[in-house]
Amino acid sequence: MSSSFSTIKTQGIVPKKSMGQNFLIDNNIVKKIIETSQIKQNDVIVEIGPGTGILTKELALKAKKVIAIEKDEKLANNLKIKNVKVIAGDALNIVHKIKGEYKVVANIPYYLTSFLIRTLLELDNKPKDIVLLIQKEVAQRICSSKNTILSLSVNYYGKAQIIDYVSRNCFYPKPKVDSAIIKITLNKEKRNDELFKLIKKGFSHPRKTLINNLKDKRIEDFLTSRGLSKKARPEELNINDWTQLKLFLQRK
């Protein structure tokens, strides 16, 4: 039995399904996440959803400082770890306030994955690196050649790679699916967030054609120039197509 699992039982922690709580209980996976994160002594780490603190404790040993954001007030109050600043609240509201250089390392609830990653990528003060333990299928979609609003976001702002797959048996309670450790290394150069306003609008109704979503007849000429069907849906455009579309619309 892992120390994390013992902590859960000793403290009478009852995982909340409404918060998507599946606590990591395998120390080998913690080590793998730490190795992947390549933490240096001067690094500030933001951990989202620290839960019982199994990962937090190891992060605190490596980093200059850990900022742990926990929505569950009871769990937040239980986190008494040296070198860790605990903030109780919703990470989606708090990450916007983080200043300075930092990395994000976390085991996050499945339901939060897509929105959280997109939020981190579009912050004014973006993290240097993002290492997450997420649902296996979502990790595969991010790293596949299929164009979704999430994969386009990641490929525009950085480079993603699946480090390892993680069995559902490494969590308590055991989820219905397996997970994966994914690392997103962000580009150093500043990117144009305005592009993603266009992409979001283009994906507002993924099953509709791009022309119908953007409600602009000029797009027909653009699609023809790119060798795409006039009835093309948003997922048929890669990141270069979207970049060129933005430039095209600015010129007209």
pLDDT at 12 over 70: no
Looking at the fold, whether 109 and 229 belong to one and the same domain comes out as no
Looking at the fold, whether 168 and 198 belong to one and the same domain comes out as no
Give the per-residue pLDDT at 1: 46
User: Which of 16-20, 65-69, 149-153, 154-158 is predicted with the least confidence, judged by mean pLDDT?
Assistant: 16-20
The residue behind tokens 């979502």 is 138
pLDDT band at residue 148 using 50, 70 and 90 as cut-offs: very high
Looking at the fold, whether 77 and 123 belong to one and the same domain comes out as yes
Residue finishing a domain among 170, 186, 202: 186
Q: What is the mean pLDDT of residues 49-78?
A: 96
b/e string for 186-218 if b means 16 or more Cβ within 10 A? beeeeeeeebbebbeebbeeeeebbbebbeeee
Looking at the fold, whether 131 and 206 belong to one and the same domain comes out as no
Q: What is the mean pLDDT of residues 153-170?
A: 95
pLDDT at 141 over 60: yes
Looking at the fold, whether 46 and 125 belong to one and the same domain comes out as yes
Query: What CATH number has the domain bearing residue 231?
Result: 1.10.8.100
Q: What is the mean pLDDT of residues 109-122?
A: 93
Q: How many domains does the chain have?
A: 2
Looking at the fold, whether 156 and 212 belong to one and the same domain comes out as no
Looking at the fold, whether 60 and 173 belong to one and the same domain comes out as yes
Sign of CA dihedral 51, 72, 134, 171: positive
Looking at the fold, whether 182 and 233 belong to one and the same domain comes out as no
Give the per-residue pLDDT at 217: 86
Looking at the fold, whether 177 and 242 belong to one and the same domain comes out as no
pLDDT band at residue 96 using 50, 70 and 90 as cut-offs: very high
pLDDT band at residue 219 using 50, 70 and 90 as cut-offs: very high
Q: Is 140 helix (H, G, I), strand (E, B) or coil?
A: helix
Residue finishing a domain among 167, 186, 205: 186
Looking at the fold, whether 30 and 108 belong to one and the same domain comes out as yes
Q: What does pLDDT average to over the chain?
A: 92
pLDDT digits (tens, 9 = 90+) for 121-138: 989 999 999 999 999 999
CA distance 44 to 24: 22
Q: Residue 175 carries which DSSP code?
A: P
Give the per-residue pLDDT at 193: 73
Range(s) of the domain holding residue 124 = 3-186
Query: What CATH number has the domain bearing residue 151?
Result: 3.40.50.150
Looking at the fold, whether 159 and 89 belong to one and the same domain comes out as yes
Looking at the fold, whether 221 and 147 belong to one and the same domain comes out as no
